[in-house]
Chains A and B, each alone.
Chain A
Amino acid sequence: MMTNLLDFTFSDLISGYVTSYDPIARKIELKTSDGRDYSLELNDNSYAKLTQNLGESWQDRTGLLTERLKPGQMIFAYGTFFPEDEIKFEVNCITFPGDQSESYLHREKGWWIKQVDEIANRYLTWQFNWPNTEIDYRNYRTLVNITGMKDESDYLQETDTISRMVYGMASAYMLTGKDEYLEAAEKGTEYLRDKLRFVDTDTGLIYWYHGLKVQNQNQEQKLLVSEFGDDYDCIPAYEQIYALAGPIQTYRLTGDPRILDDTERTINLFEQHYKDHTNGGYYSHIHAVTLSAYEESLGRNKARKNWNSVGDHAPAYLINLWLATEEERYKLMLEDTFDTIEKYFQDYDNSPFVQEKFYDSWEKDQSWGWQQNRAVVGHNLKIAWNLMRYYSIDPKKGYKELAEKIAELMPQFGYDKQRFGWYDVVDRVVKPGQKFHRYAWHDRKAWWQQEQGILAYFILQGLFPDNKDYEKYADESAAFYNSFFLDNSDGGVYFNVLANGMPYLLGTERFKGSHSMSAYHSTELCFLSTIYIDLMTNKRPLDLYFSPLPGGFKDNILRVSPDILPKGSVKLTGCEINGENYSDYDSNQLHVHLPHSADRLKVKVTLTPV
């Protein structure tokens, strides 16, 4: 039998921690994330740089190698393997994620706030030519290419991509207080209500169109059912869920009661048409006319449940809705979704990954489309992250055990131990003779899955600081993302990078506005990384901004907790309203008792970790 030989040169990335550097021999000894040793050689053209945030210029470190290559320093070394008498690795470029060992740029105050500011600013320019032209969502388009350009022959406005961008704008406002982001969030929410909302006059339910085509000024083509292959001709729960993401993040700022009413009525839709009242959970798809999950025409999506239909409520809108209202109904719904995940998704006798697709009775569906018996690494990480958010409301032992199990397993089975970063879709089980779980399509890494890993390990570190692995994977994941996903040329972030960190820029993966991207995960990452780092791990004060409407929030209470945080871990230590100090707030509950006012207010609060 022939065997394949690795006897050719190839370039790759090695990531790890310096153990020693010999400046005379120009040799670096390095240990990878999982403790394997490598020797790296510098050549005459090797160069080094510091990780660049968006909006920052190149920061060269070529002349500082001796000072920077100290033991413990994390580096990313891109170079070429030469399989000669020994396998040698010559470095082309070193990227430093910080200027000292264990000092990471992504943990510096303001790193993520600058990043969200840059991303939000760039999307306003791309979509509306702001600030030269006013923000007008009639000009919004879902398809924006890598440089931010639109196609003149394209007229598509998808509900979810607008909603996701609105989420980003609202989050950017909460962190920066810049008025343009509030304007973009509110105008986008208004556009969604006006153009993409279907108010069912028979039942009072609200559901959201898949999208809209706006070619003719006087006529709109409403898109009722999904046009994506996975969900074709159905109304997927996933789209209804994400339609609420932007409006609800905006509601947290403004208290606009119309948003709350829309949301209540959309949740009623979930309860009446998606919820399985017999077996629990939420169906993934319903029929466009009958709103039933049982129609034969739904085909492979008939009476199915999946990760998105059960698990995405929490991160997309439900946690944020609870934060803004603290209403029992939303807490119970959150608890129900997490209990469902804990009860049905675990399958550790068969795989290190959760089971994601199910039939009506929770029997495993391992024959659906591309999923088959495969796992999405990011969904596992997302479960760990969100369980740990809810854990601070209700510290159930089972939630902690599941999150910790995922956090222990994913570095072994879904992580790139050689280069850092999280893989995409993999086989849930290895076949006989295989050592590695096979990649479904490729070994690329998607931006949103990096986000899930970063947030999962940051929040785990915050909750359980004694486990040093959480800090390690948080830093490795965040360093990889910041070093390779930021588009320092055109702005925003890349959709995918190759395993070695090089951006993958072909086909639809050149797009920056499209389905699931559209400023959502990148801004959510900035928003929540800021919160977890400032308020949970590195513990320093954080300012947040709100702009409540007169009479908006119930009982005039503005709830300013930016995420579900451990009880008593943060206090509200300062408040300004319209630039003046204001003292009527509950420091422990993180509530501001708003003054009665005929005008909207601008509220700035300071949160301080205890």
Chain B
Amino acid sequence: MSLQIISSQAESSASIQLIGTVDTKTAPELLDILTKLDLKSLSLLKIDMSQMTFMSSAGLRALLFAKQKMDQNSILTVTGACEGVVDTIKKTGLSQAIVISED
């Protein structure tokens, strides 16, 4: 299944909407979009996962790669993540690195 990514940045915050599947094949596309953002200037990066059906560990690594480039006090929030993705975030030890929001 393919991945569609809608990205926007406004000063110190950016939003990315993921539609489809982030798997081993599509994770590099996500990384490509993320690294085109001015990550160092971001205090907030919101990932809308409400229309995302699956995220592999490769997708999580892309998010972590981006977060590492942001200021250490910045926040990476995911919204609308399905139960499976939330479970993956917890199992991979990321629950204190990624803020999970239901909005």
- Give the B-binding residues of A (Cβ under 8 A): 155, 194-195, 197-203, 213, 215-216, 218-225, 288-291
Contact = CB atoms under 8 A, between A and B. Distances in A.
Given A201-B88, A213-B72, A290-B28, A218 B56 contact: no
A234 B93 CA distance: 20
Nearest to B64: A224
Contacts of A155: 72
B93 A224 contact: no
B101 to A, nearest CB: 13
B58 interface: yes
A510 B54 CA distance: 48
A203 B91 CA distance: 13
Contact of A197 (B58, B73, B93): B93
Given A199-B92, A200-B92, A289-B28, A219 B97 contact: yes
B91 to A, nearest CB: 5
A225 B68 CA distance: 8
B75 interface: yes
A219 B68 contact: no
Nearest to A212: B97
Contact of A221 (B27, B28, B67): B67
The SS class assigned to the A binding surface is loop
A290 B99 CA distance: 24
B2 interface: no
Contacts of A215: 72-73
A488 to B, nearest CB: 37
Contacts of B67: 221-222
Interface residues of B, number: 24
Contacts of B72: 155, 213, 215, 221
A219 B92 contact: no
Contact of B99 (A198, A202, A219, A224): A219
Interface string B50-93: 00000011100110110110001101000000000000100111
Given A225-B65, A290-B27, A198 B92 contact: yes
B73 A216 contact: yes
Contacts of A197: 93
B68 A290 contact: no
20 contacts: A194-B93, A197-B93, A201-B88, A202-B58, A213-B72, A216-B73, A221-B67, A221-B68, A222-B64, A222-B67, A222-B94, A224-B61, A224-B65, A224-B68, A288-B64, A288-B65, A289-B31, A289-B58, A289-B61, A291-B58
B24 interface: yes
B8 interface: no
Nearest to B23: A202
Contacts of B57: 198, 200-203
Interface string B11-49: 000000000000010011001000000000000000000
A195 B93 contact: yes
A216 B71 CA distance: 12
Contacts of A222: 64, 67-68, 94, 97
B92 A223 contact: no
A218 B96 CA distance: 7
Contact of A219 (B56, B64, B91, B96): B96
5 tightest Cβ-Cβ pairs between the two chains A and B? A221-B72, A200-B57, A224-B64, A222-B97, A220-B96
Given A201-B88, A201-B92, A220 B58 contact: no
Contacts of B73: 215-216
B56 A202 contact: yes
A199 B93 contact: yes
A325 B68 CA distance: 37
Contacts of A198: 57, 61, 92-93
Contacts of A202: 24, 56-58
Contact of B97 (A220, A289, A291): A220
A291 B24 CA distance: 10
A507 B88 CA distance: 42
Given A222-B64, A224-B68, A288-B62, 5 more contacts: A195-B93, A197-B93, A198-B61, A202-B56, A225-B65
Nearest to B87: A201
A220 B27 CA distance: 23
Nearest to A195: B93
Given A288-B61, A289-B62, A223 B68 contact: yes
Contacts of A213: 72
Contacts of A216: 73
Contacts of B58: 202, 289-291
A155 B75 CA distance: 17
A194 B93 CA distance: 7
Nearest to B59: A289
A510 B58 CA distance: 38
A289 B88 CA distance: 16
A98 B82 CA distance: 69
Nearest to B71: A221
B98 to A, nearest CB: 9
A216 to B, nearest CB: 7
Given A199-B91, A221-B97, A290 B65 contact: no
Q: Which of A198, A199, A225 has the most CB of B within 10 A?
A: A198
B73 to A, nearest CB: 7
B35 to A, nearest CB: 9
Contacts of B68: 221-225
Contacts of A195: 93
Contacts of A199: 91-93
A88 to B, nearest CB: 59
A218 B97 CA distance: 9
A149 B61 CA distance: 34
B27 to A, nearest CB: 5
Q: Which of A198, A201, A225 has the most CB of B within 10 A?
A: A201
A30 to B, nearest CB: 56
B53 to A, nearest CB: 15
